[in-house]
Amino acid sequence: MKTVLIYCQYLVGVGHLIRSLSLCRELLAEARVVLLQGGPDIDRTIDHPRFTHLQLTPLLGEVSSDQLRSPDGLGLDAVWAARRTEIDAALEQPVDLVITEYFPFSRRPFTAEIEHLLVAARSRHGAPALCSLRDLPNPQIALPTAERDRLLGEYFRAVLWHGDASVGIPCPDGLPAAVELVPTGYVAPPKLTSVPANNGTIVVSIGGGRFGTLLFDRVLAVAHRFADRRFILYASPFASGYLEENGTLPDNVEARPFSADFEQQLAGAELSLSLFGYNTAVSIARYGVNALVYPYERFVEQVSRAQAFERKGLVRCLHRSELDDPELLFGRIEQALAEPLVAAGSLDLNGAGRARQYVARLFAS
């Protein structure tokens, strides 16, 4: 059986890891899968005999910046050296295909490390590479086009684009002629076996990143005015301290850490209030959740995604001026509860399946 190695480095949130795990889960139908995880462990993995989860010495980054840091307080030179050793050890076993999450459209500080991985996998095992790319790369942290195209042309067979052009988000263009663009649809985790009925809750979430607690602050300021509703706040793995620092919550508010039951609660929510990262967008669209979304303005791709989904009739956008004014925020929540959004559009969510089909064809060729 063939072996696929997936390299995933997340910097400010775990959305890339969640998507990579969904791909891993699907690709296990075709191959052994090795996941190289470059961000800190968040206790998410796959229990399968053909799956190997390798943790690199972790690094994290800053928004819209190339600055990196070790969450363990190590010096960067020591971290890079340790990661090189760990990657080389992973390549001691046969590898038939490498998939890089987001690179070379981003992850510029990791170029030397990833290029070493690609060169070693090809020289030792003859392994080609694919890029796994979300719907909207962040232009603030993109590699220069010339460098991106050099890397694509030298190492990559194809770009697996995990988006849906029918939403109004265009496919990436201008790729080197030899690199195939494969639109897959959005990558979604396995669907719930049973979707709960409307449970009367308002789910407030900030995704898997270290930002967005402003949304919690503003919602907490008006939650007491909805005494007949129950609010559940979900913090990210990197913002759990926020919940501890805020002490006593209103009687109708419950705070929970980043957890596996989030999708279950979201699917049955009367209303979702959230940022609008990739995985939150997928879950809202999949279950037709009545949603008010506040795209985090420092992530320009969240703004573009939210605008596209709103035009498609999948969500309603909440603007910063409304978030900052308690009366306006109260009014938007009240309206959303009184006039629930009935999703007018649909989303192609077979991204993992189409990625698997492409890999199967590649192995068969």
Domain positions in the chain:
3-187+349-364, 201-338
User: Cis (ω within 30 of 0) for the bond into 189?
Assistant: no
Is 216 within 8 Å of 242 (Cβ atoms)? Answer: yes
The pLDDT of residue 104 is 97
Considering the domain delimited by 3-187+349-364, tell me its CATH architecture: 3-Layer(aba) Sandwich (3.40)
Domains 3-187+349-364 and 201-338 share a fold: yes
Exposed / middle / buried, residue 274 (Cβ in 10 Å: 0-12, 13-18, 19+): buried
- For the full predicted model, state whether its pTM sits above 0.85: yes
List pLDDT tens digits, range 315-361. 999 999 999 999 999 999 999 999 999 876 789 999 999 999 999 99
What is the spatial distance between Cα 248 and Cα 238, in angstroms, rounded to a whole number? 21
* Mean pLDDT for the stretch of residues 5-10: 97
What is the spatial distance between Cα 63 and Cα 194, in angstroms, rounded to a whole number? 37
Joined together, the tokens standing for residue 365 give 């060729």
Residue 317 — φ and ψ, nearest 5°?
A: -90, 140
List pLDDT tens digits, range 22-52. 999 999 999 999 999 999 999 899 999 999 9
Q: Topology of 201-338 in CATH? A: Rossmann fold (3.40.50)
The pLDDT of residue 257 is 81
* Mean pLDDT for the stretch of residues 259-268: 87
Exposed / middle / buried, residue 212 (Cβ in 10 Å: 0-12, 13-18, 19+): buried
C-alpha neighbours within 13 Å on the C-beta side of residue 36: 25
